[in-house]
Structure 1
Amino acid sequence: MARRNGRMKNQLPDLYYEGYMEKRSFKDKTSRKLWTCLCGKTLFFFNDKRDEDYVEKLDLCGLVSVTDDSSPDPNLDAARFNVQMTKGNIKFTASNAESRELWKGYIHSVAKMEVPLTLNLLPGQVHILRETVQKEKERLTNPEPNQSPPAAVKLEMPACYYEVPYLEAELLLEREASKGNLLLRPGKQKGSFAITTRQDLEGPMFRHYRVLPKPEGGFYIAVDKPVHFDSLHDVVAYMVEKTDGSLIPLNIEAHYDKNISFIASDNENGERTQRALLPPEHPIRVTGKVRNDEPEPVENPPATDKKEEKASVTDGCSSGETRPVPEPRKLPPCPAPRTFAPTQPAAKPAFPTNAPEKPTTVSNPEMEKQILPAALSELKLRLGQKSKLRV
């Protein structure tokens, strides 16, 4: 069974030990297996380990003794022990013998503020119990803000507890007379409380009772014959039971309206009436407003001819007059850019080539008239010489 320090459930005191145990008191006919948590000086019982709301609790302020159960039992593995309280005896059954010894040690340590020496525990377990006693002493002597010893324990206050002073308690019971006539409130002394009651006998009658803490733990009603209790819940239960239900704890539940209503006034006759706001059939969608001077966007605009008429635009003044759009002014054509011949000679190749240069020829018609007849006559002469040689 794992031990988890500092685990909190529903604002309960610090957790010291937890695990499954079977519980049976003089009121229970059968044993019940419950998840048990030792938080401060109180045992809280849950139906399941994962539950957040406890079903029972046992305040250990009235502890008398913790002893083994010596009654004969055919189940030899049963690890039973008895917790003797001032109001009766409660029987527990742990999962095994080691768990039983730890439960006995934790219960005795936090209730009596001392580690028992008669238990069969290991040195390390005894050291943990001593640390638990020291933590419990610090928790009681060093209360949290807005708390004072010995009420520093994070007690779950009764449902009829209200943070109101003396006079406001009477006004609250007077205003909420149909919901109860008893409430618990803070007292004038540090760590004390008070009970305020209201009953009708030829008119409203208010009574106030002081509830003071005890040094060893618990509370008592400060009357001629003080009545002692283990917790504030027992104080409230005692007031209800001993008065045969004449006193009912005040329980104010929050009220929420189910319809939206408002006060409307009529301008003609000035009457004011309450009206109900009916829910809309469809969900309301908030959209932006379109300005009148801005045209709505068109998904597919119609095609226009190249030769359009002169367009007109609206000035933005209230008259809505239009003015023609001037045609664009035509500019003279730009002159063609001038070209300049390169002044630098063409670059020569870096390496000479073996290819012969082409002769440059100059074409002159007069020279051609003189050269061509001489060339023809010379050609005819050579042809005649060749023909004679062949003969």
Structure 2
Amino acid sequence: MEKRIRRQRCQLPSCYYEGYLQKRSIKDKVARKLWTCLCGNTLFFFNEMRDADYIEKLDLSGMISVTDDNSQDHNLDAARFILRIKDRNIKFTAPSAEARELWKGYIYSVAKLFVPSSLNLLPGQVQMLKQTVELEKQRPKNIIPPAVTSCSHYVSVQADMPACYHSVSRVDAELLLEKEAERGNMLLRPGRDGNSFAVTTRQDLYGPVFRHYRVTRKHEGGFFIDVDNPVPCATLHDVINYLVEKTNGVLIPLLIEQTYEDHISYILSDVESGEMSVQQALSIVPPSVPLKPAVLRKPTPEPAPAPTVEESLCLNDMKDTGGPANSSAVPLAPLEKITPRKALMPPIAALRKIPPAPSPRNKIRKMGTHSDTT
């Protein structure tokens, strides 16, 4: 069976309007809150706003009408509307009455290529719808045929399958669940007839117990779990979520992480000997980006040492005589008071004591005494 592939959100047509909507078909019992994007003339539904892969899409080329839903409901503030497409009706619930009018206006304008006059919108909102109509009219002309388009724009991204889908047979599914018992106990696989699917589970009850559930595709779209009371599900993701919720998390989807090589290697054959060997490709390190030059700071000049006394005297003399000293010279330190040094005594006089010389008065006295005696 060939897997359905789809493009990511970035590869979809231009988005005209988006927001959360509760979607419920007439036959569905529970409404689902989905992030809805109007891209071109198709509605794409995502589980969450940040998801890259959509889970459903709805073509609006066969739209018949879009009208308010005035049926009785316990939620009096619900802004509901019904979208009629060919042989089915789909009910939506918008977060507010204004959002409902905008959704109706965008859907009708894109599908019929003109703005309806029965909507309760502001002039600016009507102008946006007119611009959307013009863009939608030009969109088919801007589509490039796949033959001349770069293959990078049409790369298949992900199959419309849950992560626990494994393309194995009934027996191989049991062996896989037995081998990977620590990673999960439930997987989705293709059915025997090629048009349906099956869910295989494994649990322990005095030994391994395997169970298989058929998942059949509905003619009008969607799936249902084929048990005594069939369980309708819009997508295969809902099938897995239903089994996980109803078993209180006992059933765990089998997720096998894919491993990747750490090095680039290749098999090389020796021409002379014929031997095969595994070689690793040399990794080329990209040149490093040169660092930005650092801002060089000017070195801080060290303070000049204070001049000595002799230097201060010399500089002062030069300044007084008109020498090279000028106003830009280094300021001189204040002169210190110089204490006069005593004369050095000869070494011999320092060793022996010299008696002090007599004063003139004593000398006269001595001379007088000597004269009296004579």
Please say whether Structure 1 and Structure 2 have the same fold, judged by a TM-score greater than 0.5: no
Q: Larger relative CO (CA 8 A, sep 6+): 1 or 2?
A: 2
Please identify the structure whose Cα radius of gyration is greater.
Answer: 1
Query: Normalising to structure 1: TM-score of the pair?
Result: 0.39
Query: Normalising to structure 2: TM-score of the pair?
Result: 0.41
